Amino acid sequence: MTLGLPTSARVSLLSSHSLCGTSGHAAKFSLRSRPHVSQYHAFGSNRALDHPSSSSSQLREQLNNRSSRAAGRYIYSSPSWSRSSTASASLSRLPTTLRSRQLHTSTPTNMAIEIPASGTPRDVRTTINYQARNPDEPPYMYTYDPGNGKPKTNCVDETTEVVIHDLRGDVESKSLDGNGFQFMKVPSQEKEFVDDAKIREVYYPEVEELIKKASGGKRTYVFDHTVRRDGVAGSRGPAKRAHVDQTTEAAITRVRRHLGDDADRLLQSRVRIINAWRPIANPIAHWPLACCDYTTVDPANDLLNTKHIYPDRVGSNFGLASNPNHKWYFLSDLTPDEVILIKCYDSKEDVARLTPHTAFEDVSSPGEAPKRQSIEVRCLVFDDE
In a domain, 365, yes or no: yes
In a domain, 222, yes or no: yes
pLDDT at 62: 57
The domain that holds 151 is classified in CATH as 2.60.120
* Bridge partners of residue 226, in order along the sequence: 376
In a domain, 77, yes or no: no
Contact assessment for residue 355 and residue 293, using Cβ atoms and an 8 Å cutoff: yes
Q: Which residues contact 266 (CB under 8 A, 6 or more apart)?
A: 219, 255, 259, 382, 384
In a domain, 306, yes or no: yes
Q: 64 or 3: whose pLDDT is higher?
A: 64
Distance CA 342, CA 353 (A): 10
Three-class DSSP category at 130: strand
Confidence of residue 7 (pLDDT cuts 50, 70, 90): very low
In a domain, 188, yes or no: yes
Confidence of residue 278 (pLDDT cuts 50, 70, 90): very high
Q: Which tens digits make up the pLDDT trace of 73-117? A: 333 333 334 454 333 334 344 444 343 333 232 233 232 333 334
Count of domains for the chain: 1
**How is 31-81 classified by DSSP, letter by letter?**
-SSPPP--B----S--PPPSS--SSHHHHHHHHHHHHHHHTTT---BSS--
- Taking alpha carbons only, the member of 307, 293, 310, 299 closest to residue 250 is 307
Range of the domain at 165: 15-29+120-382
Distance CA 330, CA 224 (A): 24
Stretch among 206-210, 229-233, 243-247 having the lowest mean pLDDT: 229-233
pLDDT at 145: 96
Distance CA 117, CA 323 (A): 32
In a domain, 206, yes or no: yes
* Bridge partners of residue 18, in order along the sequence: 157
Cβ neighbours, 10 Å, residue 180: 28
In a domain, 82, yes or no: no
Distance CA 341, CA 376 (A): 10
- The backbone region for 310, taken as left when phi is positive above 0, alpha when psi lies in -120 to 50, beta otherwise, is beta
pLDDT at 39: 31
pLDDT at 266: 97
Q: What backbone torsions phi and psi does residue 198 show, to the nearest 5 degrees?
A: -70, -35
In this structure, what DSSP letter does residue 231 have? T
Q: Which tens digits make up the pLDDT trace of 37-76? A: 333 222 222 323 333 344 566 666 655 555 443 333 333 3
In this structure, what DSSP letter does residue 370 have? P
Cα–chain center distance at 342: 9
Give the helix/strand (H/E) hosting 272: strand 271-279
In this structure, what DSSP letter does residue 245 have? S
**Residue range 27-38: average pLDDT?**
32
**How many CA atoms within 13 Å lie on the side-chain side of 291?**
31
In a domain, 130, yes or no: yes
Cα–chain center distance at 384: 29
By CB atoms closer than 10 A (0-12, 13-18, 19+), residue 132 is: buried
Distance CA 255, CA 223 (A): 10
Distance CA 335, CA 285 (A): 10
- Taking alpha carbons only, the member of 339, 374, 337 closest to residue 189 is 337
